[in-house]
Amino acid sequence: MSSSSQESYKSDLIKHAMSVDALKFGSFTLKSGRQSPYFFNAGLLCTGAILSSLATAYAATIANAIKSGAIPEFDVLFGPAYKGIPFASTAALVLYTQHGLSVGFAYDRKEAKDHGEGGKMVGVDVKGKKVLILDDVMTSGKAVRGAIDTVIQHGGEVVGVVQALDREEVGQDGVSSTVKELEAMLGEANFNNLLYPYFNSNMAAPKQSVSLTQDEDGFINPVAVTSPPEPEPTASSSTDVEKPAPSDLIASSFEVTVTLADQQVNPNSPLYSVKTFQELGLHPDLLKGIFAMGFDKPSKIQEKALPLLLADPPTNMIGQSQSGTGKTAAFVLTMLSRVDFNLNKPQAICLAPSRELARQIMSVITQMGKFTNVQTEYAIKDNLPRDVTRITAQIIVGTPGTMNDLMRRRVIDVTDVKVFVLDEADNMLDQDGLGDQTLRVKNFLPRGKPVQIILFSATFPDHVRAFANKFAPNANKIELQKEELSVDSIRQFYMDCKNEEHKYDILVSLYQLLTIGQSIIFCQHRHTADRISQRMTAEGHKVASLHGAKDAAERDAIIDRFREGREKVLITTNVIARGIDILQVNMVVNYDLPLMNERSKTADERPDIETYIHRIGRTGRFGRKGISINFVHDKKTWLQMEAIEKALGRKIMRIETNDLDEMEEVRLHLSISCRFSDIMTISIENEGSFEVDKFIRHRYDRLYISSFNISRNARRFLSSHLIGRLPSATDTK
């Protein structure tokens, strides 16, 4: 099921609801007590055609949630009486006919019968079975909680709840304490945004007269009116409503556009440090933290961005720059500068796509804020006890799902939030990624006060950029040209393997190179990462694997060992493709090329250019040298490699699989990492010159050239280019 098909089903659901007055606009009091501008009654979706469309949408949502791991496999679909009865039965039918999933269905009665078969349950016996509850709308959650109790009383295990519309009200609080897997075809934010094109298209006018207004966040609010709104006199009226509403934040004053060449070689480029942190007017305690981290001057990206980010009144920012150019330090410094350390309430929220990146961001906050009294907290899975009632930390960093859950349960009080940051914003806003959950978090933020929105990423696809402009209205922008996104300090190669098994053989033959410094191997699937790791470990090679299916403690331990250099080779999925900074990584292997279907869970096998750029960006950090190697093994992957070359506008060099000496020479000329009490990295530009990035001599006598994990010729080459004599293994002190 493609993402476009799913969006089509969602749009069709809204269209059908409008056609039969199942969706009404006005002022309605919900069970939660909140006033709502709309009312949704799925019971009116009662024709064969509409029910077929609704059942298809339910089935697609369930099938994709199972595929992505959001909900587990189950035995029975349960529909609470009365509207849940036709929904569960028809969804079970479509799951079988369109998705090949054979499940039973059951429902309850409002009152138990004392004649006939008796009891309250009808349909499949749920005793000892895994049950998925299906309903139309969750507001107070009373019907779903009743269904959960009924299933449990009859010996079933409730594994999840799927709804047509989640109003994101208090109803989920009581439900999520029993069932964690809560899925919805439409969330509140997604629902509002799908209404947008409906009212601004050439579709037939709805039966109700409505006007679409935008709140200060630039999103849709449907409001009932007494007469149809007058059309705009120009043909461009549909684009007029895209303009963000007036914001309390100061409007953007200018836009900065830079190229990669500018950043790396021009004295006026964003990477060329020309100003000092002292000129930014920072608090002395923050300056102490910056200098303690070893930062002498801001990069030009920081020099451009920080004056805009720190100005009062605050401005929104959309920033794009390659990995390793100082984006994290820029937004961390902004959060720390905005926080009132005397106020013990959340004031800055930062979202990241993975727990690994969230932990890395937090480490920067901790180091930079070490001389302040800043209080911080994670909002990541399994970090907090379920019964936590309040978080008072001033800066909270986490992933969208957990942050959304904490805000929905009012564990996080958002009334004093001043700054909202998205790192890897393109992924966070992409509807094929984390867009829905990110938008939910944003909609929790206070609307009566200005909140500075900061979006940073190395890439911004066009369709995400348009949404980003709406998400962060009136933003100052620092942007790169698309063709300049691939970092020149990374040498890119590909190896043409015979088949899948040959890929593994070549990877093993590369092991000696992978362990000079550190390396990351990217796979498409979790089971591939585990299989490769298990095989290599069994053959005596030391490797580690990391992916989203591992539990939180294991993931944290693995990434910490890799960051500390105790693991040299990490086999992983896209879970660390973005944002992770580990300077010793000087080789990335794309065992599987990144594909679009990894994002959208569809059959789209085009290469994912943005993810490719992020993957190879794990090496070549902060201007250092690095290598990426891509494996191709058939016509399909060959064409995908060609598409990547075309998108990047550069030729990717082929290396023969039987000529690993060539690979070793390239690797040596780029980066040789040696371990003694610290890491010494020597970047050799050519055979006559070299530059020393970091050279710590306090244990010089322990640096043995014979211990380098490289060939004899490479060892001789290194010796001839180092200043002075390196001690041999037989030297003693």
| Alpha-helical runs (H) found in 137-259 | 142-153, 171-176, 188-199, 237-240
Q: Encoding tokens for residue 590?
A: 């794309």
Region at 239 (left for phi over 0; alpha for psi -120 to 50; beta for the rest): alpha
Contact 667, 512 (CB under 8 A): no
Contact 399, 351 (CB under 8 A): yes
* Cα Rg of the chain, angstroms: 28
519/529 Cα distance (integer angstroms): 14
Asked about 115 being catalytic, the answer comes back as yes
Rounded to the nearest 10 degrees, what angle do helices 355-368 and 552-563 cross at?
Answer: 60
Calculated CA dihedral for residues 296, 302, 308, 314, nearest 10 degrees: -80
Read off φ and ψ for residue 26, nearest 5 degrees.
Answer: 160, -140
37-45 contacts, C-beta under 8 A, 24 or more apart: 37/221, 37/222, 37/223, 37/224, 38/222, 40/136, 40/137, 40/164, 40/165, 42/17, 42/83, 42/87, 42/136, 42/137, 42/164, 42/165, 43/82, 43/83, 43/136, 44/17, 44/20, 45/16, 45/17, 45/20
3 state SS of 692? strand
Q: Which of 16, 31, 83, 113 is catalytic?
A: 113
DSSP H or E segment with residue 465: helix 462-471
Q: Which of 10, 16, 99, 115 is catalytic?
A: 115
Per-residue DSSP letters for 560-627? HHHHTTS-SEEEE-GGGSSS---TTEEEEEESS--BTHHHHSSS--SB-HHHHHHHHTTSSGGG--EE
Active site residues: 113, 115
